[in-house]
C-alpha cells in the first residue's frame, strides 16, 4: 500500500527536514512554496506607520510518496526536525495513493518508488 505525505512546514525548517529524511533513507521528494494560515490566523508586521496584519504566510509543502510500512518513521522524522513548539509549526497530511508509474522504466506501484540506498534497502540489509 502506497501513501503520500503532504507536510506543511516552516520555510526555515526545510533544510533540517531534508537532512532528517536523508538520515533515514527518504531521498525522493518534491517541495512547493505555498501560502496559508492555520489556527493562528497570520502575523503582525511592522509597517510604515505602526503595524499591520498579514493573514497568509509563506510555508513549504513537502510531498513524499512511500510504502505504508515506512510511514511512521517518516512522520516522526519530519516532526522532530520541524517542531519549534510555537504556533505555525504546520501540519502533516497523509493520503492513499492509487498508482505510481516511473516514466523511464514503466515500473508501477511499489517498484516505482524504490531506489538504491533507500529506506527499504537499508531495512533489508539490517535484517540480513
CA distance 53 to 44: 5
Q: Residue 14 burial (CB < 10 Å; 0-12/13-18/19+)?
A: middle
Q: How far is the CB of 73 from other proteins (least distance, A)?
A: 39
Minimum separation from the CB atom of position 48 to other proteins (A) = 5
Q: What angle do CA 73, 33, 96 make, to 5 degrees?
A: 40
Nearer to other proteins, 1 or 56 (CB): 56
Site for other proteins in 13-32 (CB under 8 A): none
**Residue with smaller CB distance to other proteins, 49 or 105:** 49
Main-chain dihedrals φ then ψ at residue 47, nearest 5 degrees? -115, -165
Q: Rounded to the nearest whole angstrom, what is the least distance from the CB of residue 64 to other proteins in the complex? A: 30
Q: State which residue, 51 or 63, has the beta carbon closest to other proteins.
A: 51
Q: Which is nearer to other proteins, 52 or 95 (CB)?
A: 52
Cβ atoms < 10 Å from Cβ of 13:
21
Residues 41-60 that bind other proteins (CB under 8 A): 46-56
Strands 2-9 and 91-97: antiparallel
Give least dist CB 37 to other proteins, A.
11
Say how many residues touch other proteins, by CB under 8 A.
Answer: 11
Beta bridge partner(s), residue 31: 62
**Residue ranges in contact with other proteins by CB under 8 A:** 46-56
Amino acid at each position: 500500500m502506497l501513501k503520500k505525505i503532504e507536510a506543511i512546514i516552516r520555510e526555515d525548517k526545510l533544510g533540517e527536514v531534508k537532512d532528517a529524511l536523508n538520515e533515514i533513507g527518504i531521498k525522493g521528494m518534491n517541495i512547493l512554496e505555498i501560502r496559508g494560515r492555520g489556527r493562528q490566523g497570520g502575523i503582525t508586521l511592522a509597517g510604515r506607520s505602526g503595524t499591520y496584519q498579514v493573514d497568509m504566510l509563506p510555508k513549504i509543502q513537502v510531498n513524499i510518496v512511500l510504502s505504508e510500512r515506512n510511514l511512521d518513521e517518516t512522520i516522526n522524522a519530519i516532526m522532530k526536525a520541524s517542531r519549534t513548539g510555537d504556533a505555525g509549526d504546520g501540519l502533516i497530511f497523509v493520503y492513499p495513493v492509487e498508482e505510481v508509474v516511473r516514466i523511464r522504466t514503466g515500473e508501477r506501484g511499489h517498484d516505482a518508488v524504490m531506489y538504491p540506498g533507500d529506506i527499504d534497502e537499508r531495512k533489508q540489509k539490517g535484517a540480513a
